[in-house]
Structures are given as C-alpha cells and as structure tokens.
Amino acid sequence: MSSRTVNRIAVLLGGPSAEREVSLVSGRECAVALREEGFEVVEIDAGDDLATRLLDVQPDVVFNALHGRWGEDGCVQGMLEWLNLPYTHSGVLASALAMDKDRSKRTFANANLPIAKSILVDRVAASNAHPMDPPYVVKPNNEGSSAGVYLIDKGANSPAKLSEDMPDVVMVEEFIRGRELTVAVMDGKALTVTDILTTGWYDYDAKYVEGGSTHVVPAELPADIFAACLDIAERAHKALGCKGVSRADFRWDDERGIDGLVLLEVNTQPGMTPTSLAPEQAAHCGMTFGKFCRWLVEDASCAR
C-alpha cells in the first residue's frame, strides 16, 4: 500500500467495448462508494480524448472500472503508465495475457493448472463444420462477460451460425458439464468460493439481468474441491502477474471429483457493483463495498 495522500480519483467507465453498459454500471457504483468514503471523484467516460481529460483532471489515482477490450487488455494501462498516473487492478502484461484466452491458457498450462481443451479456428470455418466433437463452446478469444458465446450441444447436427460481429478467429473449447464456480483473489490471497446457480447456460443475461442467477457464498462443496479452487485461483493470479483484485472462473463436473475441476479464465477487472461476485465475496469476509473500493485505491500504483 502507498503512503501518498489521495484526494481526487478519476473513475474510468463506459468506453467503446462490447461491455460498455456493464462498465457504466460498475463505474457509477464505484464512484458513489468512493464519494461516501470521502474522496473527490470525477467520472470519465473513456473515449478518444481520454488522455486529454486525465491531464485536465490531474487525479491522484485512476480507478479503472472499464471492462472488455481497450480498457481491460493492457491498452489503457499502458497509457496510464505513460502519463505516470497510479491506477487500480492489474498492469499491462497481466491485463493483456488475461484478456487473450489462448495465451492465458498457455500460461496456465505452463503452471500446471487444469484447463479445458481448446483450439483457435477461423470464424467462417467454425460456422460451416464442427471444429471438434460436440458439446463445445465458441467464444471470442479476447472479450469477456459471455459476450458472443455459443454453446453447441451434444448431438447437434450442424455448427452454430456465428454472427459477423464475432472476430475472424474464435476460440472453440470443449464444454465442461457441471457447476459454475468462481474465486476472487485480493492481494494474492483467495477470498472464498461462490457457487453460481442458473437454470441454463451462464451467459450475459444470467450474469447481469436481475434474477438471472443465484450466488451461494460460500459454496457448499467437498473440502478438497473448495481448497483446490482457492489454491488454483491464487496460482493463476500469480502466473499471470495480476495485481489488486482478480477473479478466477471454474467449471466442476462433480461426477469426476477433483479431475472434473477446470479453470476457465481469469478476469483482471471483475464486475464492481455491491452484488457483483468479487465484492460479494469481500462482504462475506467482512469488508463493505466502500472499504473494498478504498482498498483498491490505496493499492494503486503506476508500475504494475
């Protein structure tokens, strides 16, 4: 933690990515919480003039509440370092690695972490023929929040007709049946495990539409699975070089025991509303949403 005095905070929100609406909600909630903590807060919708606006505001810390490409993939992080502005969450390299699903999975494999089999495929080819035996998932290699995710069920006669909004190259990943689990890591230490209950696929609506999912915190799991989730999340955070808070997402096939636990990805900038997964885990550990946001501000630095 830095000993500097922090008065003015610029909260970055919105931006041009597919996750703009989610970021607007996260950023506004964080801005409210930080004002209640006594900070002067300036909200900045990140556009082409972001660098100019930051130079005008001259914040002590930049609270990065952006999601998706440009805000979460190392681009904004690099600009903030160029401007010598302390900022929250992970730095350039960790952000870029985590956003690129294929490269992050290679990093996890090198750290002996359990991952699902996957390949990168041309979007048109994936629309014309099954790239692997169903069931499998098709998703952008560099987006989050379940934006543009297709689930091809077992026994499907034909592949999904992918939207032209999808990138030219997509990730095709084997589908792991079972439960959706997640672990927030704060300052390198796992908080707890959440079991995410939903009636279907954990897609964008399940994540962000009211009533789309139910969170069980802490998850009711066998002790070895619970402990493995915490351990893998911490190791994944370290392997990517994450800072501040990250969130590791898992699938667990309970019929296969420990062999059915698979790390899907790490999110370097988890959703930040009071009911989002990471703040919810922090609350379980006794930290209010305001204190959680304050901790991120106090943890901020420039060279991350």
Q: What is the pLDDT of residues 271-280, one digit of tens each?
A: 998 889 999 9
Catalytic-residue membership of 271 = yes
Q: Residue 280: inside a domain, yes or no? A: no
* Domain range for 248: 98-115+177-268
| pLDDT at residue 207 greater than cutoff 60 | no
Mean per-residue pLDDT, 125-139: 94
Q: Residue 2: inside a domain, yes or no? A: no
Give 179-191 pLDDT, tens digit per residue. Answer: 999 999 999 999 9
For 168-200, give one letter per residue: b (16+ CB within 10 A) or e.
Answer: eebbbbbbbebbbbbbbbbeeebbbbbbbeeee
Rounded distance, CA 47 to CA 52, Å? 10
| pLDDT at residue 202 greater than cutoff 60 | no
Q: Residue 260: inside a domain, yes or no? A: yes
43, 72, 173, 249: the catalytic one is: 249
Catalytic-residue membership of 247 = yes
Q: Which two tokens stand for residue 149?
A: 């995710």
Q: Are residues 149 and 69 in the same domain?
A: no
Q: Are residues 72 and 165 in the same domain?
A: no
Least reliable range by pLDDT among 26-30, 41-45, 166-170? 166-170
DSSP state of 254: G
- Give Rg (Cα) of the chain: 19
Catalytic-residue membership of 104 = no
The pLDDT confidence band at residue 163, using thresholds 50, 70 and 90, is: confident
Of the residues 174, 191, 206, the one at which a domain ends = 174
| pLDDT at residue 1 greater than cutoff 70 | no
26, 90, 145, 276: the catalytic one is: 145
Q: Residue 290: inside a domain, yes or no? A: no
Q: Are residues 108 and 183 in the same domain?
A: yes
Query: Which CATH number does the domain housing residue 229 bear?
Result: 3.30.470.20
179, 247, 251, 304: the catalytic one is: 247
| pLDDT at residue 160 greater than cutoff 70 | yes
208, 244, 280, 299: the catalytic one is: 208
Q: Are residues 111 and 252 in the same domain?
A: yes
Give 13-33 pLDDT, tens digit per residue. Answer: 999 988 899 899 999 999 999
Phi-psi region of 208 (alpha: psi -120 to 50; beta: other; left: phi over 0): alpha
Catalytic-residue membership of 265 = yes
Q: Residue 304: inside a domain, yes or no? A: no
Q: Residue 303: inside a domain, yes or no? A: no
Q: Are residues 37 and 142 in the same domain?
A: no
Catalytic-residue membership of 7 = no
Q: Residue 299: inside a domain, yes or no? A: no
| pLDDT at residue 146 greater than cutoff 90 | no
Number of domains in the chain: 3
DSSP state of 275: T
Catalytic-residue membership of 188 = no
14, 19, 280, 294: the catalytic one is: 19
Least reliable range by pLDDT among 55-69, 197-211, 253-267? 197-211
Of the residues 174, 204, 219, the one at which a domain ends = 174
Q: Are residues 45 and 144 in the same domain?
A: no
Q: Residue 152: inside a domain, yes or no? A: yes
Query: Closest Cα to residue 228, out of 166, 181, 167, 171?
Result: 181
| pLDDT at residue 208 greater than cutoff 70 | no
Q: Are residues 23 and 83 in the same domain?
A: yes
What pLDDT does residue 148 have?
76
The pLDDT confidence band at residue 298, using thresholds 50, 70 and 90, is: very high
71, 173, 271, 276: the catalytic one is: 271
Query: Which CATH number does the domain housing residue 40 bear?
Result: 3.40.50.20
Q: Are residues 24 and 107 in the same domain?
A: no
Catalytic-residue membership of 267 = yes
45, 173, 265, 280: the catalytic one is: 265
